[in-house]
Amino acid sequence: MGKLKAGIVGTNFISDWFCESCLDSRAVLPVAVCSRDRERGRAFALKYGIENVFCDYGEMLLSDIDLVYIANPNSLHIPYSLEALRHGKHVLCEKPAALDRNSLTEAVAEAEKRGLVFMEAMRTVHDPIAFAIKDLISREGPVKEAHLSFRQYSSRYDSFKEGIILNAFNPALGNAAVMDIGIYPISLCVFLFGVPLEIKSSSEKLSNGFEGSGEALFRYPDLNVLISYSKIAAQEAPSHIDLGSKRITIGKISTMEQVLAGEIGGTAEEILAERPRNNMVYEIMDFKKCVNDPSAAARWNEYSIQAISCVDRIRKQNGIFFEE
């Protein structure tokens, strides 16, 4: 099979990254974009040589595309995914692919029923560095301590403090720090260590009830993993995984940048120093493999289901609710 023809929903920065990564992957070719604002859609299309601009999602789904890349607000991920699947299109959906486990399993089941591929665009677990870390743990373990952290000061937080609530801080859109930011360390934790026996968590909420930051302790039989995340504070230190006298550090979990391994207090070496300009390329390549063999998607969907199940527990513990 040649390149998959993609229709893109959304024209924000993540869609830019997707298009750039498509060029690197040589597996997917963006041929259509859907935006409520036609002029914005045309401007986006012009940057990447995309011929077809739609303002109506249904019309795009009737066009000659193989897959839909969904990058609109979280609350719309599953409705848009289900509609695409029912039109016979494969779906690569930005993280978090769903607001809860039930809706995620519904989309997975719909895809399986139709012989299509539904996959969450969680680039962290598709990155070869994640597999290198997992292999190092299996060879050098057991893990003594782990702290997986992703804290990123949102450029839209200044507006919030001035009384202007943009989409990024609107809980009605299925947003919360655990959904937008926490999902990265949670997904990596599940990928490396599996589903925890117990989760104890806490959240810091803003004046409109939006979760701005949080922490969660994932308890395993012989290990506790601290997860921390924030949309209102910058990262102060890298994540780390300690294996006896050795330490793995991760500078930025979302892009798996500056991942080092070495003796604690000694010299550390970078894991897989040769990197693409954007690690989204790996999820795109894996998606193409799944289209060639739809049964291969089950592996990735299981990680996504396990991760969102952990998010469900954190939301329940901290009263994080979204409007229906």
Q: What is the pLDDT of residues 43-97, one digit of tens each?
A: 999 999 999 999 999 999 999 999 999 999 999 999 999 999 999 999 999 999 9
Which of 79, 186, 68, 73 is CA-nearest to residue 116?
68
Q: What is the DSSP string of 1-46?
A: --PEEEEEE--SHHHHHHHHHHHHHSSEEEEEEE-SSHHHHHHHHH
CATH, range 4-122: 3.40.50.720
Collapsing DSSP states into helix, strand and coil, what is residue 316? helix
Give CA torsion, residues 20, 50, 78, 306, to 10 deg.
-20
Please say whether the beta carbons of 284 and 90 come within 8 A: no
Band the pLDDT of 275: cuts 50, 70, 90. Answer: confident
Stretch 194-221: mean pLDDT, rounded?
97
pLDDT at 141: 82
Q: Is the dihedral of CA 288, 294, 297, 301 positive or negative?
A: positive
Q: What is the pLDDT of residues 250-269, one digit of tens each?
A: 999 999 989 999 998 888 89
More confident residue, 257 or 98: 98
pLDDT at 324: 53
Which of 242, 262, 261, 232 is CA-nearest to residue 168?
232
pLDDT at 1: 64
Collapsing DSSP states into helix, strand and coil, what is residue 259? strand
Report the CATH fold assignment for 125-280+308-318.
Dihydrodipicolinate Reductase; domain 2 (3.30.360)
Which of 188, 185, 119, 117 is CA-nearest to residue 152?
185
Question: How many Å apart are CA 260 and CA 269, to the nearest integer?
Answer: 5
246 DSSP β-pair partners: 243, 263
Of 95-109, 121-135, 182-196, 266-280, minimum mean pLDDT range? 266-280
Per DSSP, 75 falls in state: G
Stretch 225-234: mean pLDDT, rounded?
97
Question: So where are the chain's domains?
Answer: 4-122, 125-280+308-318
